Chain A
């Protein structure tokens, strides 16, 4: 009896003493429950699957295996804080919280803890100013450039002039939805269109009064900044009042398959912005199918592979992995720290060669990240839903935003943040 006890303690001691394998830790602050779960799940799946692919096909990044730690936030800022505190000591390299609210929370915390944060196409837009926001990156596009791309698309549809047109913004009444208002107001002044603002309170189930107002006022175009169940309800309400879907354009977070599914055929022609390609017509997806899906290692149920939001999550993981490679090269070690990861993100170059090597040639625009510009070029394209073939397809090339209007706004907002928090310029 005594001998077996000693033996048990010895084995336990040996297990504790054995060296832990080095790992690249990527916390995934996801939400698979709550009113935003339908949209949050595919993004988390895409992120996890790409990291699994790197492990299975390449043996990790630079020979070090990746480890994705998922933590459920339910899109709530309090749980986001709890997940951040729980995972940051595990060697977390980067945070992609997929929630503008949680991003605002974490910007000062991640800066103080020297962990970078990548908020592709969401978050605090003024984080594009790397002088003030040293640890926050939001390439390749953000909400203000998205608003400008949408307006530029509408300008091209209207022969270069929106004078006298009425544009309504239907937005989620949170930090996320309010982000484009300032830019749209500036653009309304510049191009002479009337902007109507229609807030929708969380979770967005109740939109009858907003759509009644749209039916009364008859705007020429409706732009939507929605998320989760708000998207589905909005598209259904739009079909109820027989609003022309070709004039209904959502931001990239309002353009996924599950948003248009409930309205069925009535959603035909609905447009949305995007900053990457749609579908699985790329060599990397063959690898994904072989190494992850067929091997039974797909995250969740495996049914979201190739959908718009899955691709977005995968793209976020791809950017993080490329930044890891840059960091490993810069610092000469495969086992990098969060501080090194930040340097990798700041020196990231996405070119045709990089994309071809991954197997995603033509998937998204090329860009270079610099110390001053953490926001990338802000290019976006327009995709349209075809209810007959049940698929999205890009109907334009990548459109450039109007940086003359946006850059001063970014500078002003970043300067205000720097003044409030006594931040010195980080780049020299």
Chain B
């Protein structure tokens, strides 16, 4: 009754193969985009931008990247933190050596640089699989963090080893640096998220995505039917690292403003993005967003409820937050091991039949 494709006839192949075939889905998507682009920038304040929306958008991009690699192509990677560091340092070197360059170009170039680094560290995937590949990418994580700590050229020989984002912008609007407005930063991240999610969705449902999924499901059979494992796995690493590099550049330049590689891009970040992908749902674009919301927004919400509304002491609130998040993660995985996106898919299936169960 609510969610039907009855009576919704498609007259062209393009209409038939669109991402949101049902009208309700399509209109819902347009509504979300309209609110995100036209309403939120005018009502947002600094706190909502820096603590809630911008980190959510940035981590969505990172988890989209890891979902492509781990969810669609089946290559487990624990090097996400290191690749984000590559994106951040690449954007820092570009911003400081080419001061007149547009920030959008800088971010996309950082993604390209990270993609080439990702391809390099993806070469072991041609010989090893599963947990062994996870260990090889773990090596990438530690190696990259050590690299950015060791060679002073990366942080422009500063005494402290920290990198700070200078003020850069596009079309006259400042996007990085302390004087950038919350709306400008938010809109910049939103444009990138929509663009990259569109690219990810279309890559994953096209020929390349199908070859990734073939490698994931049974790589020997895939090789037999003609899927080139070298090209497929390396494109997965390249595209995934591009996304993660863009996320890292945004994390440093737009969100934090100053970063220290050991603390900001440690192994904790690699685990965080992996958990986002697993809890959200492997192999699902919506799942990346759900996982990012779960692990980024829920702690902030809990802290504001416990400290702001209930007035509990801050250390008690911090400890209870860990307990609650851990419990929710366990609950989610026990009830639905395929992630929250699977819960959503099942809900949609049931809604198509509602109120008739058969």
Contacts and interface: CB of A to CB of B under 8 A. Distances in A.
B51 interface: yes
Contacts of B264: 77-78
A104 B258 contact: yes
21 contacts: A32-B318, A71-B314, A77-B258, A77-B259, A77-B264, A81-B256, A89-B46, A101-B260, A104-B260, A108-B164, A109-B257, A111-B178, A112-B178, A124-B160, A173-B262, A178-B159, A199-B149, A202-B266, A420-B96, A421-B166, A421-B177
Interface string A77-106: 110011001101100000000001100110
B262 A88 contact: no
A190 interface: no
A205 to B, nearest CB: 14
Contacts of B332: none
A76 B255 CA distance: 14
Interface in A1-56: 30, 32-33, 37, 41
Interface string B65-98: 0000000000000000000000000000000100
B179 A420 contact: no
Contact of B318 (A41, A74, A178): A74
A104 B262 contact: no
Interface of A: 30, 32-33, 37, 41, 70-72, 74, 76-78, 81-82, 85-86, 88-89, 100-101, 104-105, 107-109, 111-113, 124-126, 173-175, 178-179, 181-182, 199, 201-202, 409, 413, 416, 420-421
Nearest to B159: A182
Contact of A178 (B47, B161, B319): B161
Interface residues of B, number: 38
Residue with the greatest number of chain B CB neighbours at <10 A, chosen from A89, A105, A113: A105
A231 B158 CA distance: 26
Nearest to B96: A420
A19 to B, nearest CB: 23
Contacts of B258: 77, 104-105, 107-108
Contacts of A182: 159
Contacts of B307: 72
Contacts of B178: 108-109, 111-113
A70 B164 contact: no
Nearest to A124: B160
B317 interface: yes
Contacts of A89: 45-47
Contacts of B256: 77-78, 81, 105
B263 A202 contact: yes
A86 to B, nearest CB: 5
A82 B257 contact: no
